[in-house]
Copies of this chain bind each other. A is one copy, B any other.
Amino acid sequence: MSLLVVGSVAYDAIETPRGKVDRTLGGAATYFALAASHFTRVNLVGVVGEDFAARDAAIFARRAIDITGLERAPGKTFFWSGRYGEDLNERTTLVTDLNVFASFDPKLPESYRNSKYVFLANIDPTLQRSVLKQTRRKPKLVALDTMNYWIERTPAELRETLKHTDILMINDSETRQLSSEHNLLRAARHIFRLGPRALVIKRGEYGAMLVHRAHVFCVPAFPLEEVHDPTGAGDSFAGGFMGYLAGVGRSSEADLRRAMVFGSVMGSFTVERFGLERLRGVTRREIQARARHFRRLTQFTL
């Protein structure tokens, strides 16, 4: 089924102990869409500036990602620059030039309004809500990402948007901050009262945990000998997760578990190279092989 994503499309400059890139296509919606496109059709809503290059539009086209909803505004595209140390969980932001993203006001093209699966990447909760209002009918599944900035500055707006959210995808520290609970199970129960029926906690190199009202599932991060660039890992995870669910059009417990695995699979590919390099080239066969590898990594008999 059709999957809608709204979020940032950006140019990134990235430095890690394994190398650097000066200006490469990035942004949450970009990583999400590329990862999800391996499972289902993706409709993207975002904004870029006049400097947005035709070769970058072609990256979406080649993966059959619909960018009718990618608005071109006067000015420059969102630019982000960051540096990672040996501990790739820690990053230093060097530059954040919001540019055209500062006045982003998402508008759903007519052809997107029937989207059944919706991912609201990390943007102002009021904008996330406005996207939901523009859908024709209540989507089958809405997932949302957010961060400390919105939890602190716009708590009321975030709570309003969470009422319409099925799955919240955030990291450990955001989970603790949003719920004022250190224990993650108690934190999840707190969050269920705000609307979501499931919480996906992203834990970087430690993997991810799904806490559903009715069950809990853990998946490790894929152990890699070389992590080149962690940028976009979380958004690629979300793309694999939502892409899988939209692709099968169901979200039973077994589906959600598989979605967690395919999320981890896509995140693991992303970090193997810089930027979108690996995500663009990965094949269906490689995705399936890595999912089986996750099974070997976690399965046991009693």
Q: In the complex, which of the residues B182, B217, B299, B301 contacts A297, with contact meaning CB atoms closer than 8 Å?
A: B217
Whether, in the assembled complex, A227 has its beta carbon less than 8 Å from a beta carbon of chain B, the answer is yes
> Given A207-B218, A220-B207, A220-B220: A225 and B186 within 8 A (CB)?
yes
Which residues of A in the span 248-302 have a Cβ within 8 Å of any Cβ on B?
Answer: 254, 257-258, 260-261, 288, 291-292, 295-302
Whether, in the assembled complex, A148 has its beta carbon less than 8 Å from a beta carbon of chain B, the answer is no
Q: In the complex, which of the residues B185, B227, B300 contacts A223, with contact meaning CB atoms closer than 8 Å?
A: B185
Q: In the complex, which of the residues B215, B298, B302 contacts A291, with contact meaning CB atoms closer than 8 Å?
A: B302
Whether, in the assembled complex, A216 has its beta carbon less than 8 Å from a beta carbon of chain B, the answer is yes
**How many residues on chain A are close to B (CB under 8 Å)?**
39
Whether, in the assembled complex, A183 has its beta carbon less than 8 Å from a beta carbon of chain B, the answer is yes
Contact of A223 with B184 in the complex, beta carbons under 8 Å: yes
Whether, in the assembled complex, A107 has its beta carbon less than 8 Å from a beta carbon of chain B, the answer is no
> Given A218-B297, A220-B218, A302-B295: A225 and B183 within 8 A (CB)?
yes
Whether, in the assembled complex, A203 has its beta carbon less than 8 Å from a beta carbon of chain B, the answer is yes
Q: Which of chain B's residues have a CB closer than 8 A to the CB of A203?
A: 206
Task: Give min CB distance, A255 to chain B, whole Å.
Answer: 10
User: What CA separation (Å) do A227 and B182 show in the bound complex?
Assistant: 11
Task: Give min CB distance, A84 to chain B, whole Å.
Answer: 11
Whether, in the assembled complex, A22 has its beta carbon less than 8 Å from a beta carbon of chain B, the answer is no
User: What CA separation (Å) do A216 and B220 show in the bound complex?
Assistant: 11
Whether, in the assembled complex, A57 has its beta carbon less than 8 Å from a beta carbon of chain B, the answer is no
Q: Which residue of B lies closest to A216 (CB)?
A: B223
User: What CA separation (Å) do A57 and B252 show in the bound complex?
Assistant: 52
Contact of A182 with B216 in the complex, beta carbons under 8 Å: no
Contact of B183 with A226 in the complex, beta carbons under 8 Å: yes
Could you show 22 A-B contacts with beta carbons less than 8 Å apart?
A87-B182, A183-B224, A183-B225, A184-B223, A185-B224, A185-B225, A203-B206, A207-B220, A209-B223, A215-B296, A216-B223, A217-B300, A218-B220, A219-B298, A220-B220, A254-B301, A257-B299, A257-B300, A260-B300, A261-B300, A292-B302, A298-B299
